[in-house]
Amino acid sequence: TLSAPEGNGKRFGRHVSVSGAWAVLSGGTTPDPVSALQGGAYIYHLNSQTDVWDFVQTIGNPF
Protein backbone atom coordinates (compact mmCIF):
# COMPACT_ATOMS: atom_id res chain seq x y z
CA THR A 1 0.00 0.00 0.00
CA LEU A 2 1.44 3.34 -1.03
CA SER A 3 0.87 6.36 1.11
CA ALA A 4 2.28 9.76 1.97
CA PRO A 5 2.13 9.85 5.77
CA GLU A 6 2.93 12.90 7.82
CA GLY A 7 6.40 12.60 9.31
CA ASN A 8 7.77 14.92 11.97
CA GLY A 9 5.61 17.75 10.67
CA LYS A 10 6.72 17.27 7.06
CA ARG A 11 4.95 15.35 4.33
CA PHE A 12 7.13 12.79 2.58
CA GLY A 13 7.83 14.04 -0.92
CA ARG A 14 9.42 10.89 -2.27
CA HIS A 15 8.41 7.28 -2.78
CA VAL A 16 6.95 5.71 0.35
CA SER A 17 6.20 2.06 1.01
CA VAL A 18 4.07 1.37 4.06
CA SER A 19 3.55 -1.98 5.79
CA GLY A 20 1.61 -1.66 9.01
CA ALA A 21 3.47 0.69 11.32
CA TRP A 22 6.65 0.65 9.20
CA ALA A 23 7.43 3.04 6.35
CA VAL A 24 10.36 3.13 3.96
CA LEU A 25 11.14 6.48 2.34
CA SER A 26 13.20 6.06 -0.80
CA GLY A 27 14.93 8.51 -3.06
CA GLY A 28 14.87 5.94 -5.85
CA THR A 29 12.39 5.24 -8.60
CA THR A 30 10.65 2.31 -6.94
CA PRO A 31 8.54 2.09 -3.78
CA ASP A 32 9.58 -1.54 -3.28
CA PRO A 33 11.17 -1.78 0.20
CA VAL A 34 14.09 -4.02 -0.78
CA SER A 35 14.97 -2.03 -3.90
CA ALA A 36 14.56 1.19 -1.97
CA LEU A 37 17.00 0.09 0.70
CA GLN A 38 19.52 -0.96 -1.94
CA GLY A 39 19.36 2.55 -3.34
CA GLY A 40 19.49 4.23 0.04
CA ALA A 41 16.39 4.74 2.14
CA TYR A 42 15.09 6.08 5.41
CA ILE A 43 13.01 3.92 7.72
CA TYR A 44 10.22 5.31 9.89
CA HIS A 45 8.02 3.67 12.51
CA LEU A 46 4.54 4.91 13.42
CA ASN A 47 4.36 5.70 17.14
CA SER A 48 0.90 4.47 18.12
CA GLN A 49 0.76 6.74 21.16
CA THR A 50 1.68 10.01 19.46
CA ASP A 51 0.58 9.07 15.91
CA VAL A 52 3.88 10.48 14.66
CA TRP A 53 6.25 8.81 12.19
CA ASP A 54 9.53 8.48 14.11
CA PHE A 55 12.81 8.18 12.24
CA VAL A 56 14.45 4.83 12.95
CA GLN A 57 17.46 4.25 10.70
CA THR A 58 18.87 4.50 7.19
CA ILE A 59 19.70 0.83 6.64
CA GLY A 60 18.03 -2.48 7.39
CA ASN A 61 14.75 -4.06 6.34
CA PRO A 62 11.89 -4.27 8.88
CA PHE A 63 9.51 -6.00 6.45
**Every domain of the chain and the residues it spans:** 6-57
Residue 22 has pLDDT above 70, yes or no: yes
Measured distance CA(20)–CA(25) in Å, rounded: 14
Note every long-range contact of 19-23, with CB atoms under 8 Å and residues 24 or more positions apart, other chains counting.
Answer: 19/62, 19/63, 21/45, 21/46, 21/48, 22/46, 22/62, 22/63, 23/53
- Kind and range of the H or E run holding 54: strand 52-57
pLDDT, position 53: 72
Q: Name the pLDDT band for 13 (thresholds 50, 70, 90).
A: very low
Q: What is the pTM of this model?
A: 0.41
**pLDDT tens per residue across span 23-45:** 766 554 444 555 544 555 677 77
Residue 52 has pLDDT above 60, yes or no: yes
pLDDT, position 31: 47
